[in-house]
Amino acid sequence: MYSVAQLSQKIKRFGVSVASTVILLIGADAVLARDALGIGLKKLIKRHLVNDPLTSLAAKSIDQTANWYDDHPSATLKQEWELEFDINPQYDLKLRQTKIAGIHNGEATKYTCIADFCSYVSAGLISENTATDIISYNIKTLQVMIQKDSQFFGQTFIKPRVGLNLFDTTLKYSGAGKPKSDDIVMPIPIVGVYSELPLNGDTKLYFESNFFAFDINKTKYKHIDAYFGVSHKINETVEFIFGFKKIKYSISNTGGSANIQLDIKQNTPFLAVSLIFNP
């Protein structure tokens, strides 16, 4: 049997999955109905990332005696998918999907005193566990962004954007006891900007950055990303992009049996291939 909290999280996650599916179906339908609606698929981009993220985890029990020693952190984020649609001559719609999986193998210790001798001994950070050995997470995001052309002297230099990030994260704790998990499922507002500068021929420089954050129910989340790259069209349908990506995620969860702060940073070169459907 599910508890009320578990059932609530499953309903939220189902809602986000349905919303994501509906958005993708609307996008596909828009491609088929371009002549009627004026909306068409513009680009499909697959981005390959060279470096995995660097992660750090700080955790402490609510009684301030148990601490997590983050011995072997690791995370994986190797690729991103992106779809870009024309809505009309002034507006574009972008969908971007990313997935980050991470795991932290370590040990939680508790400060204990016997007579005048005090030292750290193994302990659990969560209730019903005598020890916490593994903390893992999965972060799934679907960014839905609308950006507007802003032309100066006949050139598009800046495109402001707004949107939502459909955010689905699971934190799991396991060790010598009953495993437990915390879920975060919600849409988060996005604000950002896209800028490009034509060089010569079919080559251009571009920059984009997005920001979103929330603070609700003792959970805080902050995300900043930035992309800088050079793109070159090989022909009317294929474009290669080389660039650099920088992201920072910060997630904290307080008020449970343990207070947890998770930070994820990624500084990496990338290579992307773009298929152009509507030059």
Percent of the chain exceeding pLDDT 70 equals 79
CB atoms within 10 A of CB 260: 22
CA angle 119, 104, 180 (to 5 degrees): 85
Which band of pLDDT confidence, cut at 50, 70 and 90, is reported for residue 136?
A: confident
- Give the pTM: 0.74
- Decide if pLDDT at 223 tops 60: yes
Q: Helices H, strands E: what count in the chain?
A: 2, 14
Residue 78 has pLDDT above 60, yes or no: yes
Closest CA to 101 of 223, 277, 249: 249
Share the mean pLDDT of the chain: 79
Whether the predicted pLDDT of 34 surpasses 70: no
- pLDDT for residue 26 is more than 80: no
The pLDDT score that the predictor gives to residue 245 is 95
Instruction: Check if the beta carbon of residue 75 is closer than 8 Å to that of residue 262.
Output: no
The domains located in the chain, with CATH, are 4-276 (2.40.128)
Strand 79-86 with 66-76, pairing: unpaired
> Which neighbouring-strand residues pair with 233?
239
Question: What is the Cα–Cα distance from 246 to 271, expressed in whole angstroms?
Answer: 14
Residue 38 pLDDT > 70, yes or no?
A: no
